[in-house]
Amino acid sequence: MKLNINFPKSIVADDLLKQERIPCFCKVSKEFEILFSDTVRESSGVVSGWDRTELEIRTVAGAGGRYTHFANGLITLQKIDEGVYKILILEMFIEVTAGALTGWGVCASRRFLG
């Protein structure tokens, strides 16, 4: 999976991309969008090379609406090219009240992505 995004040129963004488990927000409908509203203002990108079936095996979908997944996340990226990053690890926060499941679901990792 790859994240296609143009981060602003800044010291904050450059330093952030060296970190692991960067806070983000994940929105999945027909497209898979990742936002960095709390860490790099007004930055968002679209994930390519993702498979809905594989995502749904690892994360629980929400209760309906425009997005099947609408959750806080933690992401680790590796720069491939200008504006293109390999997703090394992506975790989404999962909350299911009836089934009592609450916690971080790993929906992408080196183990799954090879």
d(CA 52, CA 30): 9
Averaged confidence pLDDT in the chain:
83
pLDDT at 20 over 60: yes
- pTM (2 d.p.): 0.83
Q: What residues does each domain of the chain span?
A: 2-113
Instruction: Kindly state the helix (H) or strand (E) to which residue 45 belongs, with its residue range.
Output: strand 44-48
Within 1-114, where are the H helices? 11-16, 52-58, 110-113
pLDDT score, position 23: 92
